[in-house]
Structure 1
Amino acid sequence: MTEFPKILMILGAVLLAIGFFMQFIGKLPGDILVKRGNFTFFFPVVTCIVISILLTIIFSIFGRFK
């Protein structure tokens, strides 16, 4: 039962980091935004790269504990 509090603290820290990061999604330099008349196209290129790097780091850390 001593592992459960540690898991909750790690999960809380991860959720806090995700919440902080979610404030900046779509606002990074390098994201593509095209507005023409009634048409709007948005593709978050840099945001996708940053999310990919963060998920790679997180999964590699959790993969070591297995």
Structure 2
Amino acid sequence: MPLGKILIYFGIVLFLIGLVLSYAPGLFGWFGKLPGDIRIQDENRYIFIPITSMIIVSIVLTLLINLFFRR
């Protein structure tokens, strides 16, 4: 697949994600607040480790890549 087509598809996907985040911000309000996401808050610092959220992102991206790029 030529690089130009890949960049066009990537741009379309980014555009669609931007539309969803602009017009339906509450749709992803749960993301980052899942059980397994670690939050440590102190007086002067805040540490956030999104373990469960990144596992979900990894699974979704793996499924999408295998769906579109399988030969």
Identify whether the pair has TM-score above 0.5, normalized to the shorter chain. Answer: yes
Cα RMSD for the two superposed structures: 2.4
TM-score (norm 2): 0.59
Equivalent residue for 2:58, pick from 35, 38, 52: 52
**Runs of 5+ consecutive residues of structure 2 not aligned to the other structure:** 1-12, 22-26
SS of 1:33's equivalent in the other structure is: strand
**Runs of 5+ consecutive residues of structure 1 not aligned to the other structure:** 1-10
Structure-1 separation of matches of 2:30 and 2:54: 12
Partner of 2:69: 63
SS of 1:34's equivalent in the other structure is: strand
TM-score (norm 1): 0.63
Report the count of equivalent residues: 51
Structure-2 separation of matches of 1:36 and 1:28: 20
Deviating above 4 A after TM superposition, structure 1's stretches of 4 or more consecutive aligned residues are none
Equivalent residue for 1:33, pick from 31, 39, 52: 39
Greater length-normalized contact order (CA 8 Å, ≥ 6 residues apart):
1
- Over the matched positions of the two proteins, sequence identity in percent amounts to 34
